[in-house]
A and B are shown apart, each in its own frame.
Chain A
Amino acid sequence: MDIPFTVSARPDTGLYNAKLGIWLFLASEVMLFGGLFSAYIFLRVGADYHWPIHELPVLPGFVNTMVLIASSVTIVMAWASLKLRRIFQFKLFMAITVACAGVFMVLKGFEYNAKFHHYSVELQDGTILTGHLPQGYEIKFGEATELSLTIQSENAAMDANPVKYVFPYLEGEAPAFKLADGSEIRLDKAGFSKLKKETVAAAREKIEKRKQELVEAGKKGEADALNVVPPTTVKLTAVSPMKFSVKPSKTFGYTAESITFKDGTVVKGKLLDDRMTLEVDGVDARSVADKEKSLAWEKKYLGEDWKKVFIANRDHAQHEFKEKYGDGRDPLKSATLQKHSYFMHIHSTTPSDHAPEGAGHSASNEAPAAAEGGHGDEAHGHHPTVVLDKKDISFFSNFTPKLNTYYAIYFTLTGLHGLHVVAGALVLAWFWLCNGKLLKTNPEHLANRVEVGGLFWHFVDLVWIFLFPLLYLL
């Protein structure tokens, strides 16, 4: 008893089941990516900031486009070879297709990796500085002796766990702590779990005792109602002061005197330093009303000399624009000109080394690519270093979905597309390597499978052909 039309087509519809199925599946996929493309349009049209343009490296993107198109050709060749029963060619073309997928993913990996190490810092006046953080960004907190833990008695979203959420950021060994009753404990894994057990037991006992009292007082209803055990806050004093250095994202927040960790533990002490050291490779003043008064030009940051470079760069870009288009185009409406004028890329440590023509528009397409490419430490030597006060920073992030909606949709679209590439390559590799038996017994069936896989592969290619201009060129 077999399902009909698994290999041969049904005469009146002209389709075998899997082919119909894959087209339906692709229709669903079209809706998926259609939703995401619509989201892209929606976000771009409604953006209330300068939508990033020409920020991605075009060359690797273009190579990837070619690679995928080539693989779409080879998968058809593989299918045709199999139909003609040319087994060697079939296997060869399958291998090339899967290899193309590999190349695509490796290039994508390099592109992603560069973004994870590149940062963008928005200052309070709207100026954006891009660059690298040579030491990462951590705040220093010292003279800390008091620790208050909120220990939950019920299953809760957040429960004190200093071993996991507090002590990893401690400099040096965790000291011993004194409890309120004067006894001394060590908050290692065993010590804390013992403390937790005792605290929870005590809280439960307290409730039980209260229940007992109520029952004795003849208030059984009230006793029954005590069904939830409340949390307990335990205060500990360290025998010697502690010093923390922690990323702000690992805390709920901090003040000059206290710091709250992600498990709700509050540590009291003194804030020592929360400035950020940044090696600047770009100044984006597009969102500043008076570009010449941007915070970036303050003496403690980049200073007047860089401002001169910025102005020269701006005038150069605007001059070129005028020469190129005359009065034919409104300079205020050109997002490209805005970017060339007010987004200065920095390639040297001092303004005097800075070649203004290099910072002009001609290089600006490649400049961020080079900066993002970063190539580790060697790039860092080529940029001025500034130390930013916390009060001047309004937001910072590396080039990840957090940075802005453009990078968010960029990572979502390309990430989801990448998953499709991987899944498609796995399926094709399966047909290529693991379907030997079917190849011998029923090559026509295998050809159907390859055809169906190929249809999916074409779809994946097509999505990229839309993605490339949308994210890299427009």
Chain B
Amino acid sequence: MSAAAIPHDHSHTDDHAHDHHDQSFIWKYVFSTDHKVIGIQYGLSGLLFLLVGFFLMMLMRWSIAYPGQPVPGLLFLENLPLIGGVFHDVIGRWAPGGIVNGELYNMLGAMHGTIMVFFGIVPLGFAAFGNYVMPLQIGTIDMAFPKLNMLSFWFFFISGVLMMYSFFSGTGAVQTGWTMYSPLASTTGLGVDNVWNHGHTWWLMAMVFNISASLLGSVNFITTIINLRARGMSWFRMPFFTWAMFVTAFLLLLAFPPLEVAALLQLSDRVFGSSFFLPTGLMEGGQHLDISGGGSPLLYQHLFWFLAHPEVYVLILPAFAIVAEVIPNNIRRPLWGYKSMVYSALTLGFLSFLVWAHHMYLTGMGTMMSTYFQITTVLISVPSVILLTCLMISLWGGSIRFNTQMLFASAFLPMFGIGGLTGLPLAFNFIDLALHDTYYVIGHFHYVVAPGTIFALFAGVYHWFPKLTGRFMNDKLGRLHFWPSLVGMNLVFAPMFIQGMAGFHRRWYDGGKYFEQTSADWLWLNEVMSIGAFILALAQVPFILNVFMSIKGGKKITNDNPWDATTLEWATPTPPPHGNFTFDVSAQRGPYEYSVPGATEDFTPQWADEKGKPAAAPASTPAPAHH
């Protein structure tokens, strides 16, 4: 890496914090162009959306376990002053007598998927952690395009508002699953003359903004990583976190446009009456629709899954990113196989574009196609396994500190393992034909994203919280958060494999009661899973309390590097000021130099000048500015 000096003056470093002291609150915290503020904005909205998605899921789980029984508290909520009316418009008007019916269940299902994927995990994992941590890790002052970064968040914000508004629209939110398969999604409620009265229109518009937001974000991420790395931060000195964000950004950049195409074509089908996804002779309610036909429902699925499969890796790569930071830090050993992890992430990114049609084995697209996608799907498990194995081997012989983030990170490994390994059978089309659309599939991908990704996100929150606020989160509450979460997650998702193999379909709003002759043996599991979901809900209370209480009341950190970490984000003052670093930052060595033989400390930070010398706390004793 050549010396790419950052051409700005460091002679009055102390002024960095005061550069923008005349900014009003609005410009500093609301319309901010600072990557850290934007990261926090993304983080808070992501957590909020996770909570919303979780609440929708609770209603679904109630309906599954106790079909036809009124949801406790639903009528009470409706009769509350002020929010009661709003709640009635969102949920209540679809639940006569407080009972979740099939229609409402479909809305909940579609919106749970949409919100969790596009508004919860991606913004939290990629946008929030990526925005906050990545520029710090590569030692730069901000993202390459700060204004676009702000625009990205506000596009995301608008898309969230539009998506939430769809609940209030005349037809209610969409009911056609988060995948919006045509022709169903192209034709439901087509009679509604005013398109603004249809939740689907709002869904599609929200997605357009969401896609624009992630497009701006990903361009920004890639440019920043390529062009703004600090002196000495060569490609293989970048922490794995940054690498994973780099790959994720490419996935978002290249995979989202086909979804935009799918959304545009579907919008055209609905608004202009075209037949992109509508076959000839399509009938509804015993009548031919007033359409030309000649289109292909399969085309929609191809376009959709071309996005949605890479999207899966958009969900999981940030999780690996976080875990790969938390684990070396808490085992006091280097990350085992750092380079193979990097290459695996790159391979994973590349292969993720070649596997999409394994979601479509059941469509009859042809055996050659199925065979091809079966091969690529099996191939992609190789880099995933390498990633997981490297993290596992890293643990070997480490002196592990089991703080909260490490608990979550170490639970991530087996949980993701279960999710990944149960996916292997699904890669084979002959097995998938039987398991398609059953709870087995639901169990599989929820193990990947719920106890997998979400646990990693929690680990990240506990890990970087001290950098954000200067205070630790409470460890006892953390444990109270972790253990019930672990139990709850497994109670919810493990029985799904059993039910799935017994043939339970994913879209039964009564959990299979209607098919009692065949489903009776395993119906009781519905209740177990719903209780698990309830435990999971309770387990989040300590977390929420912990976050808010620790901002002001947590234990104060004693230096800027409270976890004795090695990567550059810990070289900044706490919290990092506008402009981030108070000294001329450069990377002297690789990212995971823990327990270097001969060193006095068990960690050698990337910014430390000389190998073996104890790391100076840079914020208190800033390196002399030089040019």
Contact = CB atoms under 8 A, between A and B. Distances in A.
A226 B189 CA distance: 26
B306 to A, nearest CB: 7
A46 interface: yes
A319 interface: no
Contacts of B142: 3
B235 to A, nearest CB: 11
A101 B578 CA distance: 42
Interface stretch (A73-81, A272-280, A408-416): A408-416
B290 A395 contact: yes
A20 B223 contact: yes
Interface in A428-458: none
B95 to A, nearest CB: 8
B8 A402 contact: no
A35 interface: yes
Interface residues of B, number: 78
A25 B249 CA distance: 12
A159 B194 CA distance: 11
Nearest to B198: A157
Interface in A23-49: 24-25, 27-29, 31-32, 34-36, 38-39, 42-43, 46-49
B276 interface: yes
Given A3-B228, A158-B170, A228-B93, A402 B223 contact: no
A307 interface: no
A405 interface: yes
A2 interface: yes
Given A21-B219, A35-B306, A158-B192, A225 B265 contact: no
B2 interface: yes
B579 interface: yes
Interface string A157-198: 111000001000000000000000000000000000000000
Interface in A300-350: none
A301 B99 CA distance: 58
Contacts of A31: 253-258
B19 interface: yes
A395 B228 CA distance: 59
A15 interface: yes
A409 B169 CA distance: 29
Interface string B546-586: 00000000000000000000000000000000110000000
Interface string B268-299: 10001111100010000000001111111011
Contacts of A32: 257-258, 260-261
A249 to B, nearest CB: 8
A88 interface: no
B170 A157 contact: yes
Contacts of B197: 157-158
B92 A402 contact: no
A284 to B, nearest CB: 14
A227 B576 CA distance: 52
Contact of A1 (B19, B97, B298): B19
A12 interface: yes
A228 B91 CA distance: 11
A139 to B, nearest CB: 14
Interface string B145-163: 1100000000000000000
A245 B302 CA distance: 43
A248 to B, nearest CB: 8
Given A29-B257, A225-B70, A402 B276 contact: no
A33 to B, nearest CB: 8
Contact of B227 (A10, A225, A262): A10
Contact of A17 (B2, B141, B223): B223
A401 B274 contact: yes
Q: Which of A20, A49, A403, A408 is the most central at the interface, judged by chain B CB atoms within 10 Å of its CB?
A: A408
Interface in B6-22: 6-8, 16, 19
Contact of B141 (A1, A42, A154, A165): A1
Q: Which of A48, A165, A227, A395 is the most central at the interface, judged by chain B CB atoms within 10 Å of its CB?
A: A227
A13 interface: yes
A474 interface: no
Contacts of B578: 1
B1 interface: yes
Nearest to A229: B93
A459 B294 CA distance: 31
B445 interface: no
Interface string A384-414: 0000000000010100111111011101100
B171 A39 contact: no
Nearest to A402: B273
A408 B303 contact: no
Nearest to B15: A1
Contacts of B228: 3-5, 17
Nearest to A20: B223
Nearest to A409: B276
B16 A1 contact: yes
B597 interface: no
Interface residues of A, number: 63
A395 B170 CA distance: 30
B14 to A, nearest CB: 13
B97 A227 contact: yes
A375 to B, nearest CB: 26
A225 B70 CA distance: 8
A252 B285 CA distance: 13
A27 B226 CA distance: 16
B75 A227 contact: yes
A263 B254 CA distance: 42
A377 interface: no
A217 interface: no
A224 interface: yes
A43 B276 contact: yes
Contacts of B169: 157
B192 to A, nearest CB: 5
Contact of B8 (A2, A157, A227, A407): A2
Contact of B296 (A42, A157, A249, A263): A42
Nearest to B252: A28
B120 interface: no
B183 interface: no
Contacts of A165: 193
B1 A405 contact: no
B296 A46 contact: yes
B296 A262 contact: no
Contacts of B226: 13, 15, 20
Given A225-B96, A395-B292, A42 B227 contact: no
A5 B227 contact: yes
Interface in B203-246: 215, 218-220, 222-223, 226-228
A449 to B, nearest CB: 13
Contact of B292 (A12, A224, A402): A402
Given A17-B144, A165-B193, A408-B275, A12 B2 contact: yes
Contact of B89 (A35, A155, A400, A402): A155
Nearest to A261: B193
B268 A401 contact: yes
Given A42-B299, A46-B296, A402-B272, A225 B98 contact: yes
Contacts of A157: 169-171, 189, 192, 197-198
B93 A154 contact: yes
A21 B276 CA distance: 33
Contacts of B262: 35
B78 interface: yes
B81 interface: no
B48 interface: no
Pairs of residues from A and B, 4 with the lowest C-beta to C-beta distance, nearest first = A157-B170, A225-B97, A408-B274, A401-B274
17 contacts: A1-B141, A3-B142, A3-B143, A4-B141, A21-B219, A24-B223, A28-B215, A31-B254, A35-B257, A225-B96, A227-B75, A400-B272, A404-B294, A408-B275, A408-B276, A409-B276, A411-B272
Given A12-B4, A43-B299, A411-B268, 6 more contacts: A4-B140, A24-B253, A31-B255, A39-B303, A224-B98, A225-B99
